[in-house]
Chain A
Amino acid sequence: SAVISQKPSRDICQRGTSLTIQCQVDSQVTMMFWYRQQPGQSLTLIATANQGSEATYESGFVIDKFPISRPNLTFSTLTVSNMSPEDSSIYLCSVGVAGVGTGELFFGEGSRLTVL
């Protein structure tokens, strides 16, 4: 298993600003992902955070809007840039435990963003 800490847990932001969310894992993990969960909806994969290379983005998500860093195997950040009210959502960091390879994911508690 893995313990994942996310910061901030929640924030209220002004339109046009940017916010960086941090994800810290208590062990080294190969696979790290960022998801978005809009109110009442399912989790949508934003991107896979790759250590030492650029993140792999899913359709509909671009690096300019959601830049991601992954400097090592235990840490990643997601920035939500130039925010609008449509970006109000819960952003979740998740990891796949290295060596398991079965798709089981562990999640942080999420960062709830409200954009005014």
Chain B
Amino acid sequence: SQKIEQNSEALNIQEGKTATLTCNYTNYSPAYLQWYRQDPGRGPVFLLLIRENEKEKRKERLKVTFDTTLKQSLFHITASQPADSATYLCAASDRGGFKTIFGAGTRLFVKA
């Protein structure tokens, strides 16, 4: 079955460093990969989307890569801040763009 896998262990980093989160997918060739942020008790919030024909996408301090050979996406937060502490969800959707499956998320803690 289609699977989105993220590192279940929490990621702890120091403020100012770059956080890198990994997302791997199996039995699937998604047209889009997306990253969402979820805070405790809140719904996910969309951050970035990257298409299968794109290698890299940037938005302010965020960068996403999409490697269709490795079947992997990397999500980077540069100059991380304590306010970036949250759970980050990777999601994949098909060419129709609307059936989306999610990974379990990686919790990020940024220490001041």
Known A96-B97, A108-B43; judge A103-B89 contact (CB<8 A): no
Q: Among B94, B100, B104, point to the contact of A105 (Cβ < 8 A).
A: B100
Q: Among A48, A96, A110, point to the contact of B43 (Cβ < 8 A).
A: A110
Count of B residues near A, CB < 8 Å? 27
Chain A residues near B99 (CB-CB < 8 A)? 45, 48
Contact between B102 and A43, CB atoms less than 8 A apart: yes
Q: Which residue of B lies closest to A56 (CB)?
A: B99
CA distance A105 to B43 in the complex (A): 11
Count of A residues near B, CB < 8 Å? 26
The chain B residues found within 8 Å of chain A, CB to CB, are: 4, 31-32, 34, 36, 41-46, 49, 51, 89, 91, 93-94, 96-105
Q: List 13 A-B contacts (CB under 8 A).
A: A33-B100, A40-B104, A42-B4, A42-B102, A42-B105, A48-B98, A48-B99, A94-B43, A96-B97, A103-B32, A103-B98, A104-B49, A109-B41
The chain A residues found within 8 Å of chain B, CB to CB, are: 4, 31, 33, 35, 40-45, 48, 92, 94, 96, 100-110, 112
